[in-house]
Amino acid sequence: MFSKINEALRRLVVRVRDDKGQALAEYGLIIALVSVAAIAALALLAGGIIEVFTEVAAELTGAGGS
């Protein structure tokens, strides 16, 4: 059983070593896609986020004066 696992790991290591350039490009594309999605989500939620922070600031200002 361990020999099968060992052989599978060896094949995986060989495969990873052969695709270094390709893997790097794929990681770059994934990071770019996640960044674009995060920026889009923040742009869509910006109004709500600003409103929440405004309400919190108003509550804090009111709490300090009491």
The answer to whether 16 and 23 have CB atoms below 8 angstroms apart is: yes
pLDDT single digits (tens) 19-63: 556 777 888 899 999 999 999 999 999 989 899 999 999 999 987
Q: How confident is the model at residue 2 (pLDDT cuts 50, 70, 90)?
A: low
**What pLDDT sits at residue 18?**
60
Decide: pTM greater than 0.75: no
DSSP letters spanning the chain: -HHHHHHHHHHHHHHHHHTHHHHHHHHHHHHHHHHHHHHHHHHHHHHHHHHHHHHHHHHHHHHHH-
